[in-house]
């Protein structure tokens, strides 16, 4: 690492030690229209997969949601003592985007970066989710800060699903997410403005800009459905081989960008491809089904699966890249109807 990275914050890679994983128990039925019933059971399965490896902290919208979470977790045999329930009102369950980003400060202490949140510039009901960062800071007692725009127009608006790091100063983002004409997260922001925020708030010294996210992504191109670091210098890329599928063009462009990129240390990247599952469509809508939306916890990697032949290909590929961790598939055909899966709903609290 450079002296600059030692002096400022450092955003750890997801495979570095966690103190906890944060999730929010689902309650907003319109996110899964007509198919909400199985969703709490999927969340219980996620807690079961994680809680033997690290503590799971669960936000509950109200007392009724908390009681339901307790009942389902107990019925599913999820051991008590490795998870906690907190009464915190939320609009939606996608904590990757509404919860803060945990970084290590200059002295090594964990700090929380609380981004502004505007529901992906798509929905009006986000006032509760916008306060999630402050609630988690209060619960943990960790120091927190809110990155501000240089023009004095308030907090910088970002979502955790749009940023990805190797823990050594390199970050992946997409142009679609931050620079396309449809974005109203930070009006007037340029590529240079974002890179300045990434440097100041996360210790990033090299930002690699990919093109577009995957088809069906409700967030306008989050990186966590297409490209993820799995170790220093190694990126997995969701790649569609069928030229008739729109993801083919997008993934070829992203592959070319990654092969031409270097990390913060000046090294070339090794790119490992993950397949996409066949298109998942409900009520005529293409959903953002992607194996790249896996989540790395202390001793386990949980991976979305879709009743597809490529499920095993993805699990085997990730198992080869994480030899020290269990790799566990979680059935996500119902979950993805909410336009997100495992990485979208988890947010790690970095350890020291």
| Residues acting as catalytic residues | 344
Backbone angles phi, psi at 228, to 5 degrees: -140, 140
Residues 164/227, Cβ–Cβ less than 8 Å: yes
| Interatomic CA distance for residues 163 and 147, integer angstroms | 15
| Interatomic CA distance for residues 264 and 206, integer angstroms | 5
Which of 107, 89, 111 is CA-nearest to residue 98? 89
- Tokens 């960062």 map to which residue? 133
H helices present in 180-245, as ranges? 191-202
Cα dihedral: 36, 42, 44, 48 (round 10): 180
| Interatomic CA distance for residues 122 and 140, integer angstroms | 30
Strands 55-60 and 83-87: parallel
């Amino acid at each position: 690492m450079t002296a600059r990275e030692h002096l400022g914050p450092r955003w750890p890679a997801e495979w570095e030690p966690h103190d906890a994983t944060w999730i929010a128990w689902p309650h907003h039925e319109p996110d899964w229209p007509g198919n909400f019933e199985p969703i709490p059971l999927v969340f219980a399965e996620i807690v079961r997969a994680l809680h033997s490896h690290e503590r799971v902290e669960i936000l509950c919208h109200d007392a009724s949601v908390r009681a339901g979470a307790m009942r389902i977790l107990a019925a599913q045999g999820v051991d008590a003592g490795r998870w906690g329930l907190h009464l915190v009102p939320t609009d939606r369950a996608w904590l990757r985007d509404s919860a803060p980003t945990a970084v290590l400060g200059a002295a090594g202490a964990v700090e929380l970066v609380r981004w502004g949140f505007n529901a992906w510039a798509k929905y009006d009901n986000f006032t509760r989710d916008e306060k999630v960062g402050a609630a988690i800071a209060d619960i943990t007692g960790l120091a927190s800060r809110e990155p501000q725009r240089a023009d004095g127009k308030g907090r910088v608006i970002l979502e955790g699903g749009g940023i990805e790091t190797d823990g050594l100063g390199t970050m992946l983002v997409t142009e679609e997410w931050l620079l396309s004409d449809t974005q109203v997260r930070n009006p007037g922001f340029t590529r240079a403005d974002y890179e300045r925020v990434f440097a100041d708030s996360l210790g990033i010294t090299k930002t690699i800009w990919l093109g577009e996210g995957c088809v069906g992504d409700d967030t306008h191109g989050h990186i966590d459905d297409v490209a993820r670091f799995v170790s220093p210098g190694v990126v997995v890329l969701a790649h569609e081989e069928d030229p008739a599928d729109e993801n083919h063009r997008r993934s070829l462009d992203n592959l070319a960008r990654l092969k031409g990129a270097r990390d913060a240390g000046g090294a070339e990247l090794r790119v490992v491809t993950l397949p996409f599952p066949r298109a998942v469509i409900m009520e005529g809508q293409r959903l953002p089904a992607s194996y790249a939306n896996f989540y790395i916890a202390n001793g386990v990697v949980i991976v979305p699966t879709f009743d597809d032949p490529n499920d095993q290909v993805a699990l085997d590929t990730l198992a080869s890249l994480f030899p020290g961790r269990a790799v566990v598939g979680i059935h996500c055909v119902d979950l993805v109807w909410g336009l997100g899966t495992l990485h979208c709903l988890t947010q790690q609290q970095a350890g020291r």
